[in-house]
Structure 1
Amino acid sequence: MKKKSLSMNQIMILSLTAIVVGILGCAIAFFLRTYQQSLIRNAQTDGRRTISQVTSTVDSYLGDMNNVMEILASELVTPSEDREHFFDTFLKIRPDVVAVTIYDETGHLMSCYSLDHEVRPVVLENLSFNRTMLDVYQDGYVSAPHVMSLFKGYYPWVVTIIRPVDAGKWEKWVAVDISCSNISSYINGIGIGQRGYCFLEDMQGNIVYHPQQQLIYSDLKQENTALISSLDDGSHVIGTMIYTVQTLTSGN
């Protein structure tokens, strides 16, 4: 039985169909690539705009806290019995501050000022003060978020700012515990698209604040902080992630 050969018209139709399919495939691929690039550019633009806003807000807050630390340090030159009224007033007008604590050279807790919270008679581990860190960071440091462990029956999430003071023979360090819920009010309300978020880390890659920090500390989420700390300021596309980095002028 003889095979039926294709007519010239059929060959032309098949060839034309193949060409049209090829052109459509190329057009779709080009469109998808262009669309993806457009999405990335828009995400980068939104990220830069949002990070700029967050940076300005956090820089302003850190600048304010640096001024607060100077005021607190200057107040420590007054006799300890005359400080109660000052710190009581200060804590009432600064609800973001959970406590102000004073330490000697060895890291021993000398004084703690806080509204309506009683210090434990025995503190097994003070997560708000690490004396060995001050051998490295002699000008003070900002702690990672932690549960404050000084008080009876009160366990707020805080970030601690620690600075040296020259207030007398014994008092060498002042620490201010700031409520994480206050920091979150500056950051969490500013979103980046549906899945984006902002967080703070220091120059060594240690997380200072993260909106999902409890998941991170429970090992339910990971953040590549080492990679992020190595990136220059700006927007970076790495794999399926877009990182926008901005260095704060008032922090470290």
Structure 2
Amino acid sequence: MRFWRVLFQPFSRFHYKKIQVIITLSFMLVTIITVLLVSIMLYNRFSKSSEENTVLNIGQIIDQVNSNLEFYVLGMKDIFQVVEESVGNAPLISGEQLRSQLGTILKTRQDLVSIALFTKDGQLVWNTPNEQMRPNSRLTRQGWFEAAQEHPGLLQFSAPHIQNVFKSPYRWVVSMSKEITYTDGGAKKKGILDVDINFRTIDELSKRVSLGKKGYVYIIDGVGNMVYHPQQQLIYAGLKYENLEPVLNYQYGNYTDDSTGEERIITIKTVQPTGWKVVGVTYADEIMTTKKDLNTFMIGFLLIMLSIVLIVSVLVSYRIAKPLRTLERSVKKVEKGDFGAIIDVSGAYEVEQLSKRFNLMIRRIRELMDQIILEQEAKRKSELEVLQAQINPHFLYNTLNSVTRMAEMGRKEEVVTTITSLSRFFRISLSKGSNIIPVQDELEHIRNYLIIQKIRFKNKFQYAIEAQDEALSCMTLKLILQPLVENAIHHGIEMMVDEGFIGIYAWIEEESLFIRVTDNGIGMSEDVLRGILSGKSRQDSGSGVGVRNVHERISLYYGKPYGLTFESELEEGTSVTVKLPVVPASAESDHGGSA
């Protein structure tokens, strides 16, 4: 009873995230996949190997038949050559010596039916055996006669046909014909030499082939006429059908055919020089006779493996899950806030180690939390200080450089105005060490900066500063507008031919403070716009560093939702919007007044 209770326990309160259920299902899934993959691989490999071996064996058999037929055809060509030489060298075409010589050749070969010589207009010169011609044979229109005339000097093999030239029993023959030169009455003449052969040797060569219980070999010529078929009478009677159309498209090779309702493997070889095709037919059901046995074995093997794995996985998962459930109950106490709870779980080595490490983690968690808070606060302040230090020297360098050039040019009034504005600029920049100043001071700060830059660039641009009254009293990080205005001057207006304009606007909308810097400069391309805050911008001037620093300072101090957004179009201008939280002066004082 205990065994069955343990066996079915994973399914008593089924939940797909239970470790016992996960282990059981995982083992079963891995086993099923493994068995299926192995079975499929073995099955495919076995099937493929059987088919490849069968096709290879069939190909070898057809090759042998093809070689035998080619050897036989070469032998017939040699015999035809002997007959041709005898006829061509005979001083008298009707002499008894020639007739006796050819009669001897005919008697020594049972597959030779007749030898005959005709004039080019179809008149019989002589033949052996000596038989009379049929009057209506239409000799000059027969294929073998026409082929010899159309290809003078070349030996021609005809399609299988019934010999109807002589008054003898009708027989199926293949005619070898050729236009030759012979001597008659002391004059050289041209005629058609014909040697007819029967199917005795072809039939014997084909009958020796074994392609399974139902397989067979047949031979066709180059246009689809049947040269040999083991069931030739059924073919002629229309009781058996061979799909010859795809066969004629192959010189050699194999393919699968199911035109007769059964899957068959067709193997083809071409006999040279006749152009005949030796076709082997093998039935697929004889090749894979063990497929059903293999399928039955796979199913039985899979069921046995699943049963074994199910039992083993349930027992193993139970032993693993039991101490973990005890650990789960102990951890729930810690979840409720009891960090003083001591977890004591026995079981597997890993579970015991887990409980010990968890106790150590509980003791350390408060220390680590306090330490992390202190470290993050220190890091945040350090990053703000570094960013602030990057901006001030950057601006001071550019401003002093401009003052130096104006002094060298003797522009004293502009130097005085610039120095005065610079002193006010730095008075606001210092802000008694505070990083947080009112928006009104930040706008006054940027006004002094614009006065300096307008003198430097000889009134190349105009500017306007507008702000809602409610926005002026809000608090903001200092020195966030100067890099933006510097960027607008150097990258937007400096390269313009016409007079530029810079507008600075501050307002409150949806519980957020917005400050926008716009210019009517040359604008930025999409590549520069995408990369300006990521550090991948192609701008080579120093203001690119200042813009990124402004965005990073705002994000570090107020959080990721706040920072800079850019809008720009080439030849239209650029707009940079600063988004900040609305922080009244009193709230900032309570906060501490510095980063």
Superposition map of 1:153-172 within 5 A: 154-168=169-183, 169-172=188-191
Q: 1:81 aligns with which of 91, 95, 100?
A: 95
Contact 1:73 1:167 in 2 (8 A): no
Distance 1:30 1:128 in 2: 61
Which position in structure 1 is the counterpart of 2:547? none
Q: 2:255 aligns with which of 205, 226, 237?
A: 237
**Which amino acid in the other structure matches residue 202 of structure 2?**
I
Distance 1:51 1:97 in 2: 25
Superposition map of 1:55-204 within 5 A: 55-77=66-88, 78=90, 79=92, 80-82=94-96, 83-114=98-129, 118-124=131-137, 129-130=142-143, 131-134=145-148, 136-138=150-152, 139-152=154-167, 154-168=169-183, 169-204=188-223
CA distances 1:28-76 after superposition (whole Å, capped 9, x unpaired): 8777655554443233122111112112211111111111111111111
Helix, strand or coil at the partner of 2:234: helix
Contact 1:46 1:192 in 2 (8 A): no
Higher relative contact order (CA 8 A, sep 6+): 1
Distance 1:147 1:128 in 2: 14
| Runs (5+) with no aligned partner, structure 2 | 1-8, 15-20, 22-27, 258-262, 276-595
**Which amino acid in the other structure matches residue 198 of structure 2?**
S
TM norm structure 2: 0.36
Percent identity over the alignment is: 24
**Which amino acid in the other structure matches residue 147 of structure 1?**
I
Larger Rg: 2
CA RMSD across the alignment: 3.6
Helix, strand or coil at the partner of 1:111: strand
Which position in structure 1 is the counterpart of 2:51? 40
Which position in structure 2 is the counterpart of 1:246? 269
Distance 1:236 1:144 in 2: 24
- 1:106 and 1:213, CA in 2 relative to 1: closer, same or farther beyond 3 A? farther
More displaced stretch, 20-29 vs 242-251? 20-29
Helix, strand or coil at the partner of 1:194: coil
Distance 1:92 1:165 in 2: 23
Distance 1:121 1:201 in 2: 28
Contact 1:127 1:146 in 2 (8 A): no
Helix, strand or coil at the partner of 1:163: strand
**Which amino acid in the other structure matches residue 85 of structure 2?**
S
Shift of 1:245: 2.2
Distance 2:51 2:129 in 1: 47
Helix, strand or coil at the partner of 2:170: coil
Structure number having the greater helix percentage: 2
More displaced stretch, 36-45 vs 170-179? 36-45
Q: Residue 211 in 1 paired to residue 230 in 2?
A: yes
| Runs (5+) with no aligned partner, structure 1 | 1-6
